[in-house]
Amino acid sequence: MGFTLSQLNQVDQAAFVRAVGSVFEQSPWVAEVAWAKKPFASVENLHRTLCDSVLGAGGERQLALISAHPDLAGHAALSGTLTLESSREQANAGLDRLSQPEISLFKTLNAAYRDKFGFPFVICARLSKKDAILMGFENRLRNSREQEIQIALEEIFKIAEFRLRDLISS
């Protein structure tokens, strides 16, 4: 996409948010908060600052961030309304090539997860394929809500790192 870290360090807040705002799914507020901490010494420093912005935001905003993520192979994926980033990530995991029984299984698991925890199942699809994601559902449905909030945020931070590296050129 073609920004350098030097360019990002020089832009105003609005341009920074336009450039980096999509790194966290439908949550440009993360970039708005992080912008005040520039200049960033490295991509790693920028990523850490963005993550720290989430961690310092409080539980309500963290839950809103988690909830901004789409269900895997869910309605948005099937109707073609995913963000470009989510669409690519789900396709990378093979979720765009599911059979009808697999789609039904994902629908059932998404519903069970949402019923138990109150937010969508989040996993870094770039690091997982269909079978690993299904196993993740099975394993994580045993967790407490507090554990799942922490795991979801960790997964979101992985997703954000990939998206940030896609965005910033060397």
SS3 168: strand
31, 35, 54, 69: the catalytic one is 69
CA distances from 28 to 15, 16, 33, 102, 108 (A): 12, 10, 9, 33, 30
Phi and psi at 117, nearest 5°, equal -110, -20
Q: Is 69 an annotated catalytic residue?
A: yes
- For residue 136 the two structure tokens come to 């993740």
Residue given tokens 């360019």 in the structure block: 7
For residue 83, count CB atoms less than 10 angstroms from its CB and return exposed for 0-12, middle for 13-18, buried for 19 or more. Answer: middle
In SS3 terms, 113-167 reads as HHHHHCCCCCCCHHHCCHHHHHHHHHHHCCCCHHHHHHHHHHHHHHHHHHHHHHH
Catalytic residue ranges: 69
